[in-house]
Structure 1
Amino acid sequence: MRMIQLLPEHQTPNHKPSKPTKEQLNNELNFHLAEKELMKLREEELISQEEFDQISKLNRQKFNPLLSPLMCDKP
């Protein structure tokens, strides 16, 4: 493994993370509730994997959840 030292000009400054707005929190909650229901439909084989992926993608677009990029390997 190769390691390099970051110079100060290449390091990110220390910022306090901003608090999410109520709208962002509501979007996050609604996204997770929609995904939970979607998973139930998939587990019961009422929708195909392709349909699941398409609907999940639409959910990410509609709700724009904060944690989606961390949890999903598909854009």
Structure 2
Amino acid sequence: MTRAISGRPARYVENGFTRLGTKVDSREIPQYPIAYDAGKALNAAPAGNDLGYAAHWAGQGLHCLAKCRRPN
């Protein structure tokens, strides 16, 4: 669970944005919608083909993701 994506607890697929969120106290993450809007702005930035700042939401079946990965 992380609050980094939206300011509210959520399940996620780890990326650069959520890793940054683990480095700060969760009380320092702004409330929704500020955190969510900041993430959207980072993802839309000119270097925006880097999906490291996109919100990759995950549900209760996140543990199944490893079974669904594409072959190299």
Give me the TM-score of the superposition, normalised by structure 2: 0.35
Larger Rg: 1
Task: Return the TM-score normalized by structure 1.
Answer: 0.34
